[in-house]
């Protein structure tokens, strides 16, 4: 079929249209990029008047907030890093591929749960429960990893037929009921444990013996809640990095006599190290900037305290609470904008670092011939 011949009269029009459209797209694209750039410029511009005021006040106001932000992020990472990396290692290297295609989106769904909902559960449901059952909560934190190890030991002692029925590659799924069972046992035994060893009331004991106050909404609660929100982003990136490790590396290590775990630990983890690092960085960026969870689960008291049982006030939460009331142009307004600038620069730097590391890693894998 021959294409219909265009009349020569339309030719200049087409070219003109093309020029105009290209120009428009360029203008639009550059405009959008400039708008994005404007965020940084605006924050710097509005924070500048603080230089005239002098830095002692700014320091006095911002340092407890910075401390609170770091404390909350640390608490969250303390919980999220082991769980997310463990999950990433397992699902990249041990899980059956069929299960993996299901589990990975399910875990990434965790990221979609809005921060308000997590904050509400943490602040109004979890925090009062933990306050009433502090021992149970602490026992659970220690007991759960132990019970996972126990499952492994029992599995090794079990008969071959049972082992084949419940393979390691599906353990991510069938360990769920096991963990539920273990949680039930821990909750059942915790009051007895408290009665026997801790004199009946752990909070009383903490207060009397160590002088530790217990606030209902504290760093531990924030850590658990924000950890929940951060786990999926760390998991997703770390899992990608681990799954992309060229199989030839692991096979080579095993051919040289390494056990499976040695091959994974010494070879796969080392190769994927930069990717895991960038995953943790992105998680840290998210934990620092998360607003609603800290706002709802931390009690918002600007304290300098390292105790995991006391609250804090983070920069993001302070902005959300105080900025609507601050008069534009006033000192508080500029201070809060400075806080926003700090958050912006910090997350931007952390994310850029993570992205650069990840791109370099991808290039390295390509050189190894792992990625097609």
Residues 214-253 interacting with other proteins (rule: CB under 8 A): 228, 231, 235
Whole-angstrom distance, CA of residue 67 vs CA of residue 303: 8
Tokens of 18: 């093309």
For other proteins, give the closer residue by CB, 4 or 211: 4
CA dihedral of residues 174, 176, 182, 188 (deg, nearest 10): -130
Write out the binding residues for other proteins, residues 286-315 only, by CB under 8 A.
286, 288-292, 295-296
Q: Secondary structure of the chain: what % helix, strand, coil (to 5)?
A: 80, 0, 20
Nearer to other proteins, 211 or 328 (CB): 328
Give strand pairing partners of 103: none
| Window 190 to 219, contacts with other proteins (CB under 8 A) | none
Give the contact letters, 78-117, x = binds to other proteins (CB under 8 A), - = no: ----xxxxxx-xxx--xx-------x-xxx-xx-xxxxxx
Distance CA 354, CA 65 (A): 25
Of the candidate residues 48, 125, 141, 162, the single one contacting other proteins (CB under 8 A) = 125
Give least dist CB 213 to other proteins, A: 18
Tokens of 158: 């079990």
- Nearer to other proteins among residue 222 and residue 307 (C-beta): 222
Identify whether the C-beta of residue 298 lies closer than 8 Å to the C-beta of residue 313. Answer: yes
State the minimum distance, in angstroms, from the CB of residue 348 to other proteins. 6
Q: Please give the size of the binding site for other proteins, defined by CB under 8 A.
A: 107
Shortest Å distance, C-beta 271 to other proteins:
17
Largest CA distance in the chain: 97
Interface residues for other proteins in 352-371 (CB under 8 A)?
Answer: 352, 355-356
User: Of 10, 32, 57, 59, which lies in the binding site for other proteins, with binding defined by CB under 8 A?
Assistant: 32
Q: Mask: binding to other proteins, 11-30, rule CB under 8 A, as x and -?
A: ---xx-xx--xx--xx-xxx
Does residue 166 bind other proteins (CB under 8 A)?
Answer: no
SS3 76: helix
Is the CB of residue 226 less than 8 Å from the CB of residue 75? yes
Give the number of other CB atoms < 10 A from CB of residue 69: 27
Residues 130-149 that bind other proteins (CB under 8 A): 132, 144-145, 147-149
Kindly tell me the sign of the dihedral angle through the C-alpha atoms of 101, 103, 105, 108. negative
């Amino acid at each position: 079929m021959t294409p219909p011949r265009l009349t020569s009269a339309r030719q200049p029009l087409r070219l003109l249209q093309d020029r105009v459209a290209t120009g428009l797209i360029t203008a639009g694209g550059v405009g959008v990029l400039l708008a994005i750039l404007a965020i940084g410029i605006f924050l710097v511009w509005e924070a500048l008047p603080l230089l005239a005021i002098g830095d002692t006040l700014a320091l006095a106001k911002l340092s407890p907030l910075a401390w609170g932000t770091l404390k909350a992020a640390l608490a969250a990472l303390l919980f999220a890093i082991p769980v997310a990396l463990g999950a990433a290692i397992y699902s990249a290297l041990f899980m059956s591929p069929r299960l993996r295609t299901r589990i990975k989106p399910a875990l990434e769904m965790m990221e979609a749960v809005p921060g308000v909902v997590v904050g509400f559960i943490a602040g109004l449901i979890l925090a009062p429960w933990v306050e009433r059952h502090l021992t149970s909560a602490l026992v659970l934190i220690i007991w759960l990893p132990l019970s996972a190890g126990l499952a492994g030991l029992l599995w090794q002692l079990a008969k071959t037929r049972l082992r084949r029925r419940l393979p390691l590659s599906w353990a991510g799924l069938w360990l769920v009921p096991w963990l539920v069972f273990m949680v039930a046992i821990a909750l059942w035994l915790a009051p007895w444990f408290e009665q026997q060893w801790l004199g009946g009331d752990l909070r009383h004991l903490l207060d009397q013996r160590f002088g530790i106050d217990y606030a209902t909404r504290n760093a531990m609660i924030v850590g658990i809640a924000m950890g929940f929100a951060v786990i999926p982003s760390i998991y997703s990136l770390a899992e990608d990095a681990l799954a992309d490790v060229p199989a030839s590396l692991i096979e080579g290590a095993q051919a040289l006599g390494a056990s499976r775990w040695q091959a994974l630990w010494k070879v796969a983890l080392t190769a994927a190290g930069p990717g895991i690092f960038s995953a943790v960085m992105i998680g840290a960026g998210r934990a620092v900037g998360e607003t609603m969870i800290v706002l709802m689960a931390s009690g918002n008291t600007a304290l300098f305290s390292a105790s995991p049982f006391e609250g804090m006030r983070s920069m993001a939460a302070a902005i959300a609470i105080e900025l609507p009331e601050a008069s534009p142009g006033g000192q508080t307004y500029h201070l809060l904008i400075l806080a926003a600038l700090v958050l912006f620069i910090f997350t931007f730097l952390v994310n850029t670092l993570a992205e650069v590391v990840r791109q370099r890693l991808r290039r390295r894998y390509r050189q190894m011939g792992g990625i097609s």
